[in-house]
């Protein structure tokens, strides 16, 4: 097992549609945490997009990724970026252009 200090840092990202969907958010967070452990990543902040928030969590995520601390991004499915497959490819390409690998838990 790799010591925590030398594990790559991963961030998480999810989009929650229902405002009161705390159970689903907790479940997805646990799944991403388990995935990170299995890949020997350290899961840092999980950015959660909610419909009632004025500030975009995705924009904050990209800003943090540009700082270069994390090399990995974990998402439950690509639908958390957008439901349109052609746009999903663009989002993944944007993130990978920052030197970050996108990992999909549901795949």
Interval 19-46: pLDDT, tens: 667 788 899 999 999 999 999 999 999 9
Question: How many domains does the chain divide into?
Answer: 1
Q: pTM for the full model? A: 0.89
pLDDT in tens, 57-104: 999 999 999 999 999 999 999 999 999 999 999 999 999 999 999 999
Radius of gyration for the alpha carbons in the chain, expressed in angstroms and rounded: 13
Q: Are strands 9-15 and 42-49 parallel, antiparallel or unpaired?
A: parallel
For the domain that residue 91 is a member of, what is the CATH number? 3.40.50.1390
Q: State how far the alpha carbon of 30 is from the alpha carbons of 53, 75, 81, 95, in Å.
A: 23, 12, 19, 23
Token pair of 66 as six digits: 């540009």
Domain range spanning residue 51?
4-104
């Amino acid at each position: 097992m790799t010591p925590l200090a030398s594990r790559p840092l991963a961030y998480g990202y999810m989009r929650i549609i229902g405002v009161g969907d705390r159970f689903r958010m907790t479940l997805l967070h646990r799944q991403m945490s388990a995935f990170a452990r299995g890949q020997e990543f350290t899961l840092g902040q999980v950015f959660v997009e909610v419909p009632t928030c004025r500030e975009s969590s995705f924009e904050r995520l990209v800003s943090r990724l540009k700082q270069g601390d994390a090399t990995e991004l974990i998402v439950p499915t690509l639908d958390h970026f957008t439901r349109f497959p052609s746009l999903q490819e663009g989002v993944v390409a944007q993130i990978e252009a920052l030197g970050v690998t996108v990992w999909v838990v549901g795949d």
